[in-house]
Structure formats: structure tokens, C-alpha cells
Structure 1
Amino acid sequence: MTGPAALPLLDIRRIHLEPAAAALPRGAEILARFPDAERIEVASHWRIPELREAEPGDYLRPKRETLVLGVKKGLHFRPNGRSADFIAPSTSNGCAMACAYCYVARRKGHANPITVFTNIEEIAEATLRHAAKLGPKPRPNQVDERDWVYDLGENGDLSVDAMVSDNVRDLVALFRGLANAKGSFATKWVNPDLLGYDPQGRTRVRMSLMPDGMAKLLDVRTAPVATRIAALPDLHRAGYEVQLNFSPVVLREGWEAEWGALFEELDDTLPATLKERLAAEVILLTHNAALHEVNLAWHPKAEELLWRPDIQEEKRSESGAVNLRYRTGWKGRWLKRLLDLFADRMPYCRVRYAF
């Protein structure tokens, strides 16, 4: 179970840590897992000059060798309505993988390796209070017909985080005990340890997928697409609610044949019991100029697919950022073609949302 590179996904050699994070029980547990790693105290997990001032082309090494321990300060729950009803306070930020299109803020520096927040008990208690205050979900919506759903991994990949700490195991246990809420996270990694967490249907895993040839170029350091697909029946049998995340959809010549082959592989692989309640989300590529400049320093080949001003236009997001998206009018037509292709190959799978 490795990514496409020959080097291991994680080889932690240095840990930047806030003293308060290291003093908590979870912080001590993590430090014990990596006893040989250099320890570097920092005032804030956001402000680490060594990461921010790193060589622009040296993008992958910090993701493999560096870990950051911090304390999550703001325990806010943001309404969402797409992947989840709410975005929960994250137990991590950053990622060991290096998807070329990733939107996660690179505020620690260009590479943004994993930061683990060690105040897991505080985060869990805030989630319990929030769910209790909500009570039963009054009516179904596209997120879920019965439960409130909390996105747990907006800023990272929990399958990889579970290699570093027990935060993910604790979150799965938390939602196992809630009658009105589920946890949810998207992933591009296959971690067999998750199969022993006993989620009892209360955690939703959204496996992120794209055509294999495209993933080999864009999904750097992730599990191969075939490995992700092969893991879906195992996750289903282990008690997870399994859904599909087709994100991002990147357009290039021949894209229809590539996506059709992916849908056919899924249809051939998934057991009937999983297909019965399967759902998916579809998100076309969003890019921006700042990420384009970062990628040119370490992975310019990817930008040949991602940076397409001939078919993209600027659009301001809800947060005020200026992004590049496929041009209005054309985007709708391409999305309809993709959804028609999907409905033809996998008519049993409900599309929760697509944009």
C-alpha cells in the first residue's frame, strides 16, 4: 500500500511543535511514535519560517519528512450543504500527499505538511454539544435523508492522518455513539487500519476518484486509482457508508472515454449491496493564479492540464478569492455530458450534487 513514488509516504524526521500541543496526552503519544525525529519548538503552528522559506522546487520532501503539532483554537461549525451539513472543527491541517490542484491554504509555506491538532478531547466535546443542540434532523436533504452530517477532513486526508495519531479512530468512535449525526471525509489513500474502527454505519467515506492516466499526473503521492476502487468493498463490509467523490473533473481531449472507462471499472467491481445505496458528488476543476505559480516551481507538467485560459474564466468565490473555472455555458454542457455518461454506466448511483 504505497503511493506512486518509490519513497515512503511518511518518513518523519523533524517535528515542529507548539509546547502546549506536546504537553497534551495526544501530543505525547505522537512524539512517542517518532522518537528519532528532531523536535523544534514553535510559537505558532501557522508561522514556521523553515517551511515558508523552503526552496520552491523542493515541494515533496517536507510533506514526507515534516510533521507539525498544534492546538486547534477556533472550534467553529460552518454550515455547508454540499458534502455535509456542517464543516466540523478540523483535527488536522495540511497533507502528506501532493495533489496538484489542491486548494488547501498553504499558510505554513508552499508544501503545507500535516499538522495534527492534539486537543482532540476538546474538539470531540464541542462536536457532541453541537449535535445535541441540533436534535433530530427535521427533514431529509441532499446531504442525508436522516442524519446531520459533519465533514471531518476538509483540510487534509484522514486515511493518512490515521497513520500519525489516533484522532481518526476517536472521531469514528464519537459518531458511532451519536443517534442523530454522522462523520464524513473524502480520501485518496487506502489505510487498512480503518477497517478495524467499527464505524457501524455512522462514518461516511467518500473515495475520491478520477481516470487513472490523469491521476498519475495530478494525484501525486496518492494511492493508485485501482487500489482505491478495490478498497471500496472492504470499507463497506467494515461498516462504513461508502460514497464516491469525482473531484476534480479535469477536461482534456478524450476525457469522455477516460471517464467512461472509470465508470465501467467501478460497475464491475462494486458488490450489489454497496450499489443499493450508493451516492456520488461531482465537482469540476477550480484553479487559481497563486496555485499556478506554486505548481510551476515543482510540477509544471500538471499545469498543462490545469491552467487552460482558453477554456477557463475568472470568477470570484464566496470567500472573495478570484479563481479560474471552466467558462460559463460550456461548463454546463460538459457537466451534462459527464452526468449522462455516468447515468448510462451506473444508473443505480444517485448524484447528490454536481457543479
Structure 2
Amino acid sequence: MLHEKTIDHLLAIHEIYHEPNVREFARGREILAKYPDAKLIEVPAHNQIPELFGFEGSVEDWLWNKKNVLILGTKKGLSARPNTRSSHWVAPSQSNGCAMSCSYCYVPRRKGYANPITTFVNIEQIMGYLTRHAARQGKKLIPDETDPEYWVYEIGENGDCSADAAICDNVKDLVKLYTTLPNAKLTFATKFVNREMLNYDPQRKTRIRFSLMPHQMSKLVDVRTTPISDRIAVMNEFREAGYEVTASFAPVIYYEGWLDDWRKLFDELNAVLDDQTKRQLSTEIIFLTHNQGLHDVNLLWHPKAEEVLWRPDIQQVKYSQSGQRNVRYKNNLKRELVDELVALCAEMIPYCTIRYAF
């Protein structure tokens, strides 16, 4: 099957860094048993692994780590952070890091930019916290742009849950949990098609957001991800399997002919999606923000992508709360670009609700 080849291409775990106590948790024992031939390397903490740093200039080591290294630890601080866009809350992570290597991703400054997957094995503690947190919120009485009925929890802020689900049942367990919470649902964005997730029975309590962008741009910047047409091709199936299927147009990258390429993408959505999927489709539109440090690293391994990601002629500096030097499109230009893409959505995919665009 194509799916199995894709999983094998994405992940082939040969080394597992692990905290000393992971065998105390059922999930930790399950994962170690799944990869019996992997080299085990005990570390004091999942975020203190010096060997994984220092590979910023070597794409060979970087991508090898993505595919072959797994880190096991426990999530220490359990808290849900308020959010205002795709979710009401960002749940405590069941993982961080990613097997994919999108050249614009803001996350990979951890673990020496390679940032392989870290799986947290104390999933029962995480789920217990989420159950209690949702209970404290009570019934959601006021509809809003995030959801008309439920409190929405983001579970994939620091990685891709579809790839995580190929390692263990953390994501499956969370999907099942939210079917039992009367006032809450979960959400995550993905660039990877994991067909095993069609068997999870989410009962409309999981909103999966398929990240989409024009094909040619995705081939350039979406490194090690499922092709765009393959993502679109499964959207009806996921809706039939009980997911709320939505889209995420992110990041939107400006270049000559960009709007024509989005028009082609919307033509494909119109042709592939069935009426039921169209009726429940919504999206978020997020224009590119890039990072100075990531730009410097990308120049060493993927300079072609930087030709479209790093555009000082049309970008301005924006410092993050942590002091990172980021760039985004200049205000006047960005307003025009947002308006143009929103107008194209209204023209070509009027059935698709835009939750927000910036």
C-alpha cells in the first residue's frame, strides 16, 4: 500500500533517547517493545540531549535524525494555554517535534533544528488533566468563530499528530477521550495522510485541518510531507469516518503568479470534494512569517526555498515575545494580499467559511 511505503519513508526508528522512568508507564513499555532493535540511550531529560544539537549546518545529519531518532519522556508541566483562533485552548502536548521538515516551520529551533519527534509516555496523566480542565469550563453557552457548540482544544501545536499516530496510540487515545467529553472537541492541523486514523471513530468530536497550498510551492517548501493532491483526495473519506474535515491555508507565500496557483488549487477542491464535505468546510488563512535564525540554517541545506521565503524587499522585521527576529510581509502589501485571497475564496469556494485571515 502507498500508505505503508509513506510511513516507512517517514520513520525508521534506529535510536531512542529516553528518560530513566519511561518503563514505569504502559505507553513507554509499548513503544520500546515496538522498536526492539533500536539503540537505547538514557538521558536525564527529554530536552537535555547535547548530541542532537550542533547539526544546524548538516542536512545529512538533520534529515537522518528526523527519520531515525525518537525521544521518549514525560510531560512535566500540565497546563492548557488560552488561545483565540483555531481553538479556545492549547492542550498540554502529547509530543513535540516532527518527522517532516517544512522549511518555514517555526518549531524546529528546538533540538538543534533537526527536532525529531519526542513522545510523552504519561498519556493517562495528560488525559486526566484535560478531562478535569474541560469539566471546569462547563457548558459553552455562546457560539463564536472557533465553534458554535464546543470548547475546542488544540493538541498538535508542536508537531503533526498524523505522524505521531504512526508511533503509538497517544493520538488515538485523545480522539477517543473527546468523544466522552460532553462540552469539548479536539483539533489539529496535518500535512501527512495516515489512513489508520480512519478507524478511530471520532464521532464528529475531532476537527482535522488539512494544510493546503499550491502544488508547486508545496513541492519546494513542504519537505517530507504527503503531496497536496493526496491530502485533498482523502478529505471525503475522513469526513465519512466521522471527522469534522476542514482546511488550513498556511502559510500563504507570495510570489509572481501566486493567485493563479491558488485558483488551480480551488479548482481541485471543487472537483474532488463531495457536497457533504463542502457544506462543513472551513479554513484559516495565515500568511508567512519567517525567522532570521531559520533563514540562516536553510541557506546551508535548502537555499532554493529561501528565494521565496526570505524577501527583504517586501518584508518587515517583527520581534517575537521571546526576542526572535522574524519577518513578515509589509503591512500595506499584506493587507492587499489578504484581501485578494479572501476575495478569491468567496468567488471560487463560497461554501468554505473563513474563520480568520491574517
TM-score range, shorter chain: over 0.9
Amino acid of the residue matched to residue 239 of structure 2?
Answer: H
Spell out, residue by residue over 1:155-207, the C-alpha distance to the aligned partner (whole angstroms, 9 max, x if none).
00000000001001100000011110000000000001100000000010000
Q: Which has the higher helix share?
A: 2
Q: Give the 3-state SS of the residue equivalent to 1:73 in structure 2.
A: coil
SS state of the match for residue 352, structure 1? strand
Superposed, 1:211-226 pairs within 5 Å as 211-226=214-229
1:189–1:223 CA contact under 8 A, matched in 2: yes
Query: TM-score of the superposition, structure 1-length normalised?
Result: 0.97
**Match runs of 1:32-181 below 5 Å:** 32-54=33-55, 56-57=57-58, 58=60, 59-181=62-184
Aligned length: 355
Deviation at 1:22? 3.4
Q: Which moved more, 1:195-204 or 1:287-296?
A: 287-296
Provide closer, same or farther for how the CA distance between residues 230 and 5 of structure 1 changes in structure 2, counting only shifts above 3 A: closer
TM-score by length of 2: 0.96
Q: Deviations over 1:131-156 (max 9, x none)?
A: 00001112011100110000000000
- Mean CA deviation greater in 316-325 or 176-185: 316-325
CA distance in 1, matches of 2:19, 2:233: 39
Write the distance in 1 (CA, Å) between the matches of 2:39 and 2:4.
25
Corresponding position of 2:301: 298
SS in 2 for 1:220: coil
Q: 1:319 to 1:3 in 2, by over 3 A?
A: farther
Do the aligned partners of 1:2 and 1:9 also contact (CA within 8 Å) in 2?
Answer: no
Indicate how the Cα distance of structure 1 residues 155 and 43 shifts in structure 2: closer, same or farther if over 3 A, else same.
same
- Return the letter of the residue paired with 1:106: R
The answer to whether the 8 A contact 2:280-2:352 is kept is: yes
The question of whether the paired residues in 2 share the 8 Å contact of 1:289 and 1:323 is answered with yes
Is 320-329 or 232-241 further displaced after alignment?
A: 320-329
1:183 aligned onto 2:170: no
Partner residue in 1 for 2:30: 29
**Mapped partners of 1:154, 1:2: distance in 2:** 24
Report if aligned partners of 1:250, 1:306 keep a CA contact under 8 Å in 2: yes
The AA in structure 1 aligned to 2:85 is R
- Asked if 2 retains the 8 angstrom alpha-carbon contact of 1:200 and 1:240, the reply is yes
1 CA distance for matches of 2:206 and 2:99? 22
**Cα separation, 2, equivalents of 1:240 and 1:55:** 38
SS in structure 1 of the partner of residue 345 of structure 2: helix
- Measured after TM superposition, the shift of residue 7 of structure 1 is 7.3
Partners of 1:280 and 1:55 in 2: CA distance: 34
Greater displacement, 261-270 / 318-327: 318-327
**TM-superposed deviation, 1:2:** 6.0
Distance 1:299 1:114, change over 3 A: same
d(CA) in 2 for partners of 1:22 and 1:307?
A: 44
Q: Distance in 1 between matches of 2:72 and 2:319?
A: 33
Structure 2: distance between partners of 1:182 and 1:283:
22
Task: Quote the RMSD (CA, aligned, Å).
Answer: 1.6
**Does 1:194 find its partner at 2:212?**
no
1:286–1:325 Cα contact (<8 Å) kept? yes
Report the CA distance between 1:316 and its aligned residue: 2.6
Q: Which residue of 1 aligns with 2:332?
A: 329
Q: In structure 1, how many angstroms separate the alpha carbons of the residues matched to 2:4 and 2:326?
A: 29
| Deviation (angstroms), 1:277 | 1.9
Distance 1:54 1:3, change over 3 A: farther
Residue by residue, what CA displacement relative to the aligned partner does 1:103-126 show, whole Å, maximum 9, x if unpaired? 114222120000000000000000
Q: Are 1:45 and 1:108, in contact at CA under 8 Å, matched by a contact in 2?
A: no
